[in-house]
Every structure is written in structure tokens, then in C-alpha cells.
Amino acid sequence: MKYGAEGYGIYFMLLERLRDEPTYMSIKDYNTLAFDLRVDAQKIKSVIEDFGLFSFTDDGKCFYSEGFMKRMEIKDSKTKARSKAGKKGAEKRWNEQKNSNAIAKPLNKDSKAITMPYQNDGKESKVKETKVNKSKVNHHQEIQEKNDEPVAPSVQNSKSHDDDDFRNLLTYYQQNIGVTNPVVVQQLQESVNDFTERKTSLKESYDIVRFAIELTAKNNVHNWNYVNKILLNWQSNNLFTLSNIKANQKERSKQHSSDDENPWDKKYKDQEEKGFWG
């Protein structure tokens, strides 16, 4: 990789900047980016333009990451769904509480025999109404706290959770395969997206890519090409859940139990020293 660990760091700082933008796009002003990130402008320009990691708007004024944008769209849709469900639940609880606290007003004031107990009941009713009003205020405050205040932390936690999952995947790759670079990082992102687009959950998509890395390491191979071949093989065989993948892997292992060559066959291993990612 041209810039090594520094290029890797620049790439992730750019992704974090894109995450903070409302549209997940940033203006292509390399001098401003360099000042904000405390990095040489030419290196930022190179990372953005030279490796195919980012795309540009038609007018060329902004840049963005297609893979990153897909991940954020999935996260945003889940966040909106949870927020909508929370508001519906709060509204339902409020209506139930309101109906349960309804107070019937006495109607008959015709006789003294009825009037006297009614006056006493009125005092008790006022006490109850006061308690009910306080209860409504407290309940309303509770709903506001549940619906309004946690919204920003919830979104932030969701973002952090997705970012943490991807960072953990990168760490696992580095520990078992080798050093990453921006191209490998982009390919890992796209591999996760390939499975989420087939209705696989985001968590399980990470687990599937992680399992491919595990198999590659067990085969004593240390490059991205081998991991990618495994993932493409699963997709071509319509294997989009971890349980189905492991069942298929177990069956393949049985079929090759008498062979010295690993189940992920020789043609993948022959590519160990080939390709940009080697």
C-alpha cells in the first residue's frame, strides 16, 4: 500500500467525517479537509481519488463512499422503525392511562338526602382529581423523557454499534490474515453489504465474513483473494445464512476427508501470491 498505516488512518477519518454529514457526502475541498484532519492535502487527495474508494457527484463538487452510504441507509431505516414503534407504544400507554382515570360526574342534586353525601364526595373527588392531574403530569413528563431525550443517544449508539462491528471485523482480519489497506477495507464493506442486500441481518453478515476469514486462516493462506473467493462461492450457491454455510462446509469436508488438499481447493490457494491485495 502506498501510504501504509497512515493511508488506513486517513481513510477512516474521512469515513467518520462523512458520517457526521446529513447526506453522508462532503465537499471536495482538500485544503479544508487537510486543516481539519491535520494531514497533508496531497495525501488526502490521493486517498480520495487514486484508489477507487470514493465516488463523486455529477458536478464534481462532493465525494462519498457508496459502500458506506449503503451501510448508513440500513442503519437509518432501523433507527426510524424503532423510533416509530416507540412513539406508537407511548401513545397507546397514554390513551390507556387516560381512559382508566376517567371520573364520572354526579348528576342528581334533587334532595337534601342526596346533596349532603354529594358534598362530601365532592371533597374526596377533588382530592382524587388532584392526584390524577399530578399523575397525568408525571406520566406526560415520563413520555417526553422516553420519546424526546433518548433520541440523540439512540442514534449515536446505533452508529457506534455499526462502526464498532466493522472495526472488530478489521481487527480480526489483521490478526488472522495480515495488514489491511483502503482497498481491502472497501472490499470488506462491500462483502458485508452483499449479504445484507439478500435480506441477511447486519450482524449475521458480519459473522459470515468473519467465518470466511477464519477458514482462510485455518488453511494457512494470508491474502484477501482467498477470503473473497470463499464469499463469492457461498453467494453463487445461494448460501446467505451462517447455519446453511456451516452445514455446506461440513458436507464439503466429508467429501474431501480422504484428500490431502483442503476443501477450499487448490485453485484458490494458487492465487495466494497474486493480486493487488496479496
Q: What is the pLDDT of residues 117-152, one digit of tens each?
A: 444 555 555 555 555 555 555 555 554 554 444 444
Given this model, what pLDDT does residue 170 score?
A: 92
Choose from 17-21, 161-165, 172-176 the range with maximum mean pLDDT. 172-176
Taking only the tens place, the pLDDT of each residue in 50-62 is: 988 999 999 999 9
* Cβ contacts of 44 within 8 Å, gap of 6 or more: 10, 14, 30, 33, 34, 37
As a whole number, mean pLDDT of residues 104-118 equals: 48
Q: How confident is the model at residue 260 (pLDDT cuts 50, 70, 90)?
A: low
Q: CA nearest 18: which of 58, 53, 60?
A: 53
Inter-residue contact 240 to 201 (CB < 8 Å): no
Confidence of residue 209 (pLDDT cuts 50, 70, 90): very high
Looking at residue 175, what is its pLDDT?
Answer: 93
pLDDT at residue 1, rounded to an integer: 55
CATH number, domain 4-64, options 1.20.1280, 2.20.180, 1.10.3470, 1.10.10: 1.10.10
Confidence of residue 42 (pLDDT cuts 50, 70, 90): very high
Query: Which residues in 131-145 are b (16+ Cβ under 10 Å) and which e?
Result: ebeeeeeebeeebee
Q: Per-residue pLDDT tens for 219-253? A: 999 999 999 999 999 999 999 999 999 998 888 88
Q: Which residue has the cell 477495507?
A: 185
Q: Which residue has the higher pLDDT, 278 or 181?
A: 181
